[in-house]
Amino acid sequence: MSEKIIPAASVARAETTQNSQALMHLLRRLHFYIGLFIGPFIFVAALTGTLYVLTPQLENQLYQHQLFTDASGADHPLSQQVDSALRHMGNGAHIVAVRPAPTSGETTRVMFRDADAGPSETRAVFVDPKTLEIRGELMVYGTSGVLPFRTWLDYLHRSLLLGDAGRNYSELAASWLWIAALGGVALWALSRTPRRTAGTRKPSKTGRFLRQRYWHTTLGLALFLGLVFFSATGLTWSNWAGNNIAQMRAHFGWLTPSVNTRLDSSDAMMPMDEHAEHHQHGMAMAAHHPAPATITPAQFDAVLASARQTDITAGKVEIRPAYTADKAWTVSEIDRSWPTQVDAVAVNPVNFQVVDKVEFARFGLLAKLTRWGVDAHMGVLFGLANQLVLALFGLGLCVMVVVGYRMWWLRRPAIRQQANPADTLMYGWRRLSISLRILLAAISLALAYSLPVMGVSLLLFLLIDIVRWRASARIG
């Protein structure tokens, strides 16, 4: 008998079909692993983030006495407000920054270095600009200037109050969120499984599962763009992946420019870190010791007046004095709502001349997008509307995770049920062609290098999967 010759086209079609089925299997199992193992971390990050963005108004109520005043009359000069805070703090007080009252009825913040403060934290003295009354002291955090209640929520969202080690939880959630979102959309688009059971009148287990899947899929599609956005912006705050992103931006020249404070103008403009409040940066020791500078309250009036003459027009500004004679003071706009006002100038504290200026309008497109992305993630870009949209996304993500677990519960295997080799990543991996294996391995290694926390967790996924695959193969 002669052997039957199979056309090359048929072989190619069969291989393509097998690769497609194997890829779908891998995608489905990976999506399941992300939901099962990373879902709790995503849920906590979404819930704590929602609490954070919903609480600015609550914080204003909690600290109403410190933040607001109902005194009437004209404001005293800023120098007198600073002097009042200095007298309150006593000898040796070190001013870090001053934020003049942005509007009538609000207080001025004079922020001091505090030995007990954490990274990016200062002790703020709140001064009534009309009466010079000290309205209280509070610890404030970062450029956003949040007060103790929201600082606690920020730490909860970022690290579960566990310090630097806890930051790995939020990085784990952010690293996998975009993959889960993309994978879910791909499964929805490519799956041929029926999405509902026609003619089912009584609530069967299959019917309940399909309804849960319908809501899980619907929420995923509705939230897709937001999930990718939160994942990308969250990663820029992270420890390991965030450092890699910063290095990439530095390599391509995408960093945000920062005002140059060197009075000898010998140094080039330094880049600015949009997440400086989330990192503790140590200052390198200089080879020489510049002469110390004397700080007087009167300088704050002159420096602010000089900055106002160079189009620093935002109501919310921050003045940072320099304690060495070779550095200029900085006056920065800190209004991150829309339209964004974050211009900054460097002012010589001796002759009060502006020596450098950075304008947001001249930032590169990527620097602007980064600024807007960070502010939108924090819920400050569009005010209350931004807060409500973030809250809807955060709560929707929480519901989607819960529904995903409900789906798993309805389809969970019986305790004594034998494991199926097909319920593993290895089953799909072994069915792929060699070329696709090499491609997927290269992509996985690149992602693991760029997102180290995801890489470590992926390795754990694979170890668990190999153990399950071998156990099920022995049983079979």
**pLDDT value at residue 197:** 45
- Dmax of the chain from CA atoms? 109
For residues 322 and 329, is the Cβ–Cβ distance under 8 A?
A: yes
Q: Which letter, b or e, does each residue of 247-277 get, where b requires 16 or more Cβ atoms within 10 Å of its Cβ?
A: eebeeeebbbbbbbbbbeeeeeeeebbbbeb
Q: What percent of the chain has pLDDT over 70?
A: 88
Q: What contacts 434, CB < 8 A, 6 or more positions away? A: none
Model confidence, pTM: 0.89
- Pull the structure tokens for residue 437: 């294996």
What's the average model confidence in pLDDT over 312-326?
96
**pLDDT value at residue 269:** 47
Residue 41 banded pLDDT, cuts 50, 70, 90: very high
For residues 261 and 356, is the Cβ–Cβ distance under 8 A?
A: yes
For residues 419 and 471, is the Cβ–Cβ distance under 8 A?
A: yes
Instruction: Give the least confident one: 32-36, 247-251, 385-389.
Output: 247-251
pLDDT tens figures, 173-189: 999 999 999 999 999 99
What is the enclosing helix (H) or strand (E) of 132?
none
pLDDT tens figures, 49-95: 999 999 999 999 999 999 999 999 999 999 999 999 999 999 889 99
For tokens 């879902």, what's the residue? Answer: 39
> How many Cα neighbours within 13 Å face the side chain of 148?
9
Integer angstrom CA distances of residue 54 from 58, 235, 379: 8, 22, 8
Which is it for the CA torsion 332, 112, 68, 87, positive or negative?
negative
Question: Distance between CA atoms of 444 and 173, rounded to whole angstroms?
Answer: 17
Walk me through the domains of the chain, giving residue ranges and CATH numbers.
8-54+161-240+384-412+421-475 (no CATH), 71-146 (3.10.450), 255-274+291-378 (3.10.450)
Count CB-CB contacts under 10 A for residue 58. 12
pLDDT tens figures, 122-141: 999 999 999 999 999 999 99
The CA-based angle 347-350-356, given to 5 degrees, is: 20
What is the enclosing helix (H) or strand (E) of 331?
strand 329-333
Q: For all residues of the chain together, what is the average pLDDT?
A: 89
**pLDDT value at residue 385:** 96
For tokens 């009584």, what's the residue? Answer: 202
Burial class (CB in 10 A: 0-12, 13-18, 19+), 9: exposed
Residue 278 banded pLDDT, cuts 50, 70, 90: low
In degrees and rounded to multiples of 5, residue 81 shows phi and psi of -65, -40
**Is the backbone of residue 145 left (phi > 0), alpha (psi -120 to 50) or beta?**
left
pLDDT tens figures, 414-472: 666 666 777 899 999 999 999 999 999 999 999 999 999 999 999 999 999 999 888 87
Q: What is the DSSP letter of 327?
A: B
Would you give the end-to-end CA distance of the chain in angstroms?
Answer: 36
Question: Distance between CA atoms of 332 and 320, rounded to whole angstroms?
Answer: 8
Cis link prior to 148 (omega < 30° from 0)? no
Residue 16 banded pLDDT, cuts 50, 70, 90: confident
What's the average model confidence in pLDDT over 198-217?
78
What's the average model confidence in pLDDT over 135-161?
96
- Pull the structure tokens for residue 195: 């999405």
**pLDDT value at residue 1:** 47
In degrees and rounded to multiples of 5, residue 449 shows phi and psi of -70, -40
- Decide if pLDDT at 277 tops 90: no
Q: What percent of the chain has pLDDT over 90?
A: 77
